[in-house]
A and B are shown apart, each in its own frame.
Chain A
Amino acid sequence: MEPGAWSPLLMPKKGKSLERYLRMSQMPTLWCPGCGHGNIARGMLQAFDELHLNLDQTVVIGGIGCSGRTPFYSNTNAMHTTHGRALAFGTGIKMANPDLTVVATMGDGDTAAIGGNHFIHSCRRNIDITAIVFNNSIYGMTGGQFAPTTPQDKKSSTTVYGNIDEPFDIAELAMAAGASFVARTTTFDFQDTTELIKKGIQHHGFSVVEIITQCPTYYGKINKLGNAVDMLEYEKDMTFPEEDEPIDWKELSGQMPLGIFREEQRSEYTDRYRELRESQKSKTDVT
């Protein structure tokens, strides 16, 4: 195995080695050189490190897509599920054993297209799972078709004349559906990636951490956005940090706000179920 083949972002020259958190038998990753998914995975593992997570009691679940591969590389328990449905599996895992820490790694197609239903219902239930959404505005794994997050007019292999669909804003969708922690950053802002994932895991409730990431291979190429570094610049241009003033989501013209949009304590699903259980134990006749 050549070290050169590893995503340099997983094993940076500078900074702490996260080897303990990597499942070495699965290296090298399948990601293309310059893919932003490595940055996010690195941020996630660093968050695990800083939180001193018990890796035996942590389950990283993924959907299907380039992003969905992340569980393989994380030296925790890993469940690579089906396209779009990681959160449905996660709901079963967390409800059956609330002591497990459950982190989901999902693509934007995974999250908002085929898995849209599971996504909004997880937000609504407010179950204590952290969903990291790898938003590269495209379907990477299947070769660059448009996603429900692809901006209008942008190209993909199925929108060669420009996209006529209206895109979803995933953070906005998560808030409307009731997620109790919602934040967004980009792979350009690496510190924030780790910080927000940490906050998401610490938050007791359903957390959505959306990370705008680059797919130089498909999205970058067909839209002439340059190489990975150019795309990081592009991410910076396309976003702005949330100021103190409330955002008028309807007035956003192409640029996306970044930051923590919601962080509120609401009753959590497994807690509510536990309370229900306690209340019934004394009453129900058990036969």
Chain B
Amino acid sequence: MRLIQGNEACALGALEAGCRFYAGYPITPASEIMEWMARKLPALDGTFVQMEDEIASLAAVIGASWAGKKAMTATSGPGFSLMQEHVGYAAMTETPCVIVDSQRGGPSTGLPTLPSQGDVMQARWGTHGDHAVIVLTASSVLDTYVMTVKAFNLSETYRVPVVLLLDATISHMRENVELPELEIVERITEAEGGEDIFGNRAFFPFGVGPRKVVTGLAHDEKGKPETSRGQVGERLLKKALDRLYVDRDHIVSYKNYQAGDAKWLILSYGITSRPARAAVDKMREEGEKVGLIDLQTLWPFPDELVQSYSEKVEGILMPELNLGQLIMPAKAAIEGRAPVYPFNRADGKLFTPAEIIEAMREIMYNGKLDQTAILEQRRNGK
């Protein structure tokens, strides 16, 4: 057992997963990840570079990945916004890389030290154009370690950028953990695509295999730009998305907390699942059949999972530290099978278990939820 911080767990997970290149730019609340990597990488034959900004950081990470290293960066909202140009480049060039975004209140400089879940949509749709990307999150220090390893494994398996969403609280909180042994996916160097550079599960860095052409322009399997026949680029784009769709059972992780026989469900993710869990415990004590699904994979959105629960429950509460983001794909998956109630705040505070219980009971016994009333009343100390 050791007492460690979320950001430290993230760095340890990355090193365990085989990450040997880190490039980044300091920002609260993510900086400790880079400080750990700067300390640990040299002795592991790895490389750390502090770049001039976040645009450069992700560029260097992509370059390093093509030079043969498992690579990552970490940032927070303002830096994540700057990285979007290269999230698109990584997607277009099928480059394995991991981007950690420890979310803080936004937009802009926002609430630099306070937690938020405001980057959920940006993580999926932040760069221009359709693209394949995986987005994970974690609700504890241990999960941060596990999901960081998973982020690298998925990134190498599918050759996609993987975003791991943490937040100011998870990043800085300390918990006692026993780090588990986890399976590590090594870079895939043999697959059906033969020597194709793109649309191939195998990934050969510069200096290995055929000489490569890598471009952010739409291109064919060999990397040749195809800017007038749009269907060529579309073909590879669909292939990348299909890979994630076909394998989504492997990609989707979540935690079922007393949701099996629940009549009322809390659907949450990240730090918000902590008070949600406490709320479930308390309500179960009182005999109320409430359960929690703690999502760890946000994109591809686990629509089948959410759909199947929506068929069994009478109502779903969706607390988020934003003004309603993941509820959009959730509602699309649920298609009216059960009522879904948003519960939102973007004031830099976490939900308390009591607030979640109150919201849940309003839904259960009144069939409605006036979320402002609950939050305002508590804010005013009534």
Residue among B55, B62, B63, B86 with the most chain A CB within 10 A? B63
Q: Is the interface of A mostly helix, strand, loop or mixed?
A: helix
Query: Which single member of A77, A82, A273 contacts B206 (CB below 8 Å)?
Result: A77
Among B62, B67, B86, B222, residue most surrounded by chain A Cβ atoms (within 10 Å) = B67
Are the CB atoms of B211 and A56 closer together than 8 Å?
yes
Q: Which residue of B lies closest to A80 (CB)?
A: B215
Query: Are B21 and A96 interface neighbours, CB within 8 A?
Result: yes
Q: Which residues 62-116 of B sit at the A interface, judged by CB distance below 8 A?
A: 62-69, 71, 85-86, 89
Q: Take A25-B224, A284-B40 as given contacts and tell me if A96 and B63 are in contact as well, using a CB distance cutoff of 8 Å.
A: yes
Q: A85-B59, A90-B63, A121-B56 are in contact. Are A95 and B206 (CB under 8 A)?
A: no
If A26-B224, A88-B51 touch, does A284 touch B43 (CB 8 Å cutoff)?
A: yes
A14 interface residue (CB < 8 Å to B): no
Within 8 A of B (CB), among A77-94: 77-82, 85, 88-94
Is the beta-carbon distance between B42 and A97 smaller than 8 angstroms? Answer: no
Nearest CB on B from A207, distance (A): 18
Whose C-beta in chain B lies nearest to the C-beta of A283? B43
Q: Does A37 contact B (CB under 8 A)?
A: no
Please tell me if B260 contacts chain A, counting CB pairs below 8 Å: no
Q: Cβ of B285 < 8 Å from any Cβ of A?
A: no
Task: Say yes or no: B212 contacts A77, CB within 8 Å.
Answer: yes
Could you say which residues of chain A place their CB within 8 Å of the CB of B191? Answer: none
Is A260 among interface residues, defined by CB-CB distance under 8 A? no
Are A88 and B211 in touch, CB under 8 angstroms? no
A89: which of B43, B59, B207, B211 is its contact (CB, 8 Å)? B59
Q: Which residues of B contact A91 (CB under 8 A)?
A: 23, 49, 51, 56, 59-60, 63
> Which chain B residue lies CB-closest to A119?
B52
Q: How many residues of B contact A (CB 8 A)?
A: 45
Which residue on A lies nearest to B21, using beta carbons? Answer: A96
A-B contact count (CB 8 A): 144
Q: Is the CB of A117 within 8 A of B62?
A: no
Query: Does A78 lie within 8 Å of B216, measured CB to CB?
Result: no
| Known A59-B206, A85-B56; contact A79-B63, beta-carbon cutoff 8 A | yes
Inter-subunit contact B21/A95 (CB<8 Å): yes
Q: In the bound complex, do residue B56 and residue A284 qualify as a contact, i.e. CB atoms below 8 Å apart?
A: no
Write out the residue numbers on chain B whose beta carbons fall within 8 Å of the beta carbon of A139.
none
Nearest A residue to B93, CB-CB: A79
Closest to A77 in B: B206
Q: What is the 8 Å Cβ interface bit string for chain A, positions 275-287, against chain B (1 contact, 0 not)?
A: 0110011011010
Q: Which residues of B contact A (CB under 8 A)?
A: 21, 23, 39-40, 42-45, 47, 49, 51-53, 55-57, 59-69, 71, 85-86, 89, 205-207, 211-217, 222-225
Q: List 14 additional A-B contacts (Cβ < 8 Å) besides A80-B213, A118-B52, A281-B45.
A: A76-B211, A81-B59, A85-B55, A89-B62, A90-B63, A91-B56, A91-B63, A93-B63, A94-B63, A96-B47, A96-B63, A99-B207, A117-B53, A118-B59
